[in-house]
């Protein structure tokens, strides 16, 4: 009698387990591992499977090393193209005498390129929509690069060829050193935003003062000090922007902002070259 009741109970339990199986064929009492979230769900943090699990979320966020590595590779690939275009224009304006004579005798092209540079810089810096929308972001970045390269080439045309080559070498060496330092050091440059802001204000006010004083009479030592401080400031900005790119410091930049990151580093390098040219260059 007891054996009959046990066998009947076992049959009822088996029937209940069979009825509780879900569509995947697994019993309801056994936990089924959830499917991993999609790329959009992982990056926006709206995944229903991992909304309460912070450890699983971090596996799919932007902090992933592979994503950051691809981001850095993309930024430096675009940056190398920008620098090669700038180097070609500077070399043309420096070594080709007819081109040098033409750009020096037509300053209107400089102011036109400055207007294009200013508009594209404000668009890429202040408007996130065109900065992130392909291919408009790359088109605007290309226009920005050509405008700034023309301005840099025209500035170089007023200096001696040897001075331009020497300043190019110094800029390359400084930028390479700062980049290696920023990637290897544990010192967090991004935490010194206040220092950089104060330095910028000092340089801004000094520039206004020099623009008033220089028409009254050229002061070589004041111009040299200003150029040295400007080179130092943008060297610090290059370290700051490089560490923002790395993603393991106090402040980081999103991998979606590869155009903005490229824009900042390229602008830092161009300003460093311009200040070195004013500091060490010899005018023709």
- pLDDT tens digits along 113-124: 999 999 999 998
**What are 159's strand-pairing partners?**
283
- Phi and psi dihedrals of 216, rounded to 5? -80, -25
DSSP 48: S
pLDDT of residue 96: 85
pLDDT of residue 147: 93
For 118, 176, 181, 258, the CA distances from 130, given in Å and listed in that order, are 16, 31, 33, 13
Cβ atoms of 246 and 72 within 8 Å: the answer is yes
What pTM did the predictor assign? Answer: 0.72
pLDDT of residue 45: 46
Q: Collect all residues with Cβ–Cβ distance below 8 Å to 15 and sequence separation of at least 6.
A: none
Distance (Å, whole) CA 216 – CA 210:
10
Q: Residues of the chain whose pLDDT is less than 50? A: 1-9, 11, 15, 17-18, 20-29, 31, 39, 42-62
pLDDT of residue 79: 93
For 47, 152, 224, 266, 284, the CA distances from 122, given in Å and listed in that order, are 35, 19, 29, 15, 34
Q: Collect all residues with Cβ–Cβ distance below 8 Å to 242 and sequence separation of at least 6.
A: 178, 179, 182, 183, 265
pLDDT of residue 253: 80
């Amino acid at each position: 009698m007891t054996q009959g009741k046990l066998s009947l109970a076992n049959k009822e339990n088996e029937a209940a387990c069979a009825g509780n199986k879900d569509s995947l064929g697994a019993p309801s009492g056994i936990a089924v591992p959830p499917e991993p979230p999609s790329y959009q769900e992982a990056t926006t943090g709206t995944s229903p499977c991992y909304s309460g699990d912070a450890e699983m979320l971090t596996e799919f966020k932007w902090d992933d090393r592979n994503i950051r590595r691809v981001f850095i590779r993309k930024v430096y690939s675009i940056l190398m193209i920008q620098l090669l275009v700038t180097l070609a224009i500077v070399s043309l304006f420096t070594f080709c005498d007819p081109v040098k004579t033409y750009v020096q005798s037509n300053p209107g092209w400089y102011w036109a390129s400055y207007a294009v540079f200013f508009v594209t810089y404000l668009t890429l810096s202040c408007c996130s929509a065109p900065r992130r929308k392909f291919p408009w972001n790359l088109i605007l970045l290309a226009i920005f690069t050509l405008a700034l390269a023309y301005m840099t080439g025209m500035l170089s045309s007023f200096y001696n060829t040897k001075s331009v080559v020497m300043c190019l070498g110094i800029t390359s060496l400084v930028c390479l050193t700062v980049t290696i330092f920023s990637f290897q050091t544990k010192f967090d440059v991004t935490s010194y935003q206040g220092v950089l802001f104060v330095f910028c204000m000092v340089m801004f006010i000094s520039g206004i003062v020099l623009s008033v004083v220089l028409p009254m009479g050229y002061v070589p030592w004041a111009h040299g000090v200003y150029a040295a401080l400007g080179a130092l400031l943008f060297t610090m900005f290059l370290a700051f922007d490089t560490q923002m790119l790395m993603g393991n410091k106090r402040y980081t930049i999103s991998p979606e902002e590869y155009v903005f990151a490229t824009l900042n580093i390229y602008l830092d390098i161009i300003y460093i070259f311009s200040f070195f040219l004013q500091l060490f260059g010899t005018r023709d």
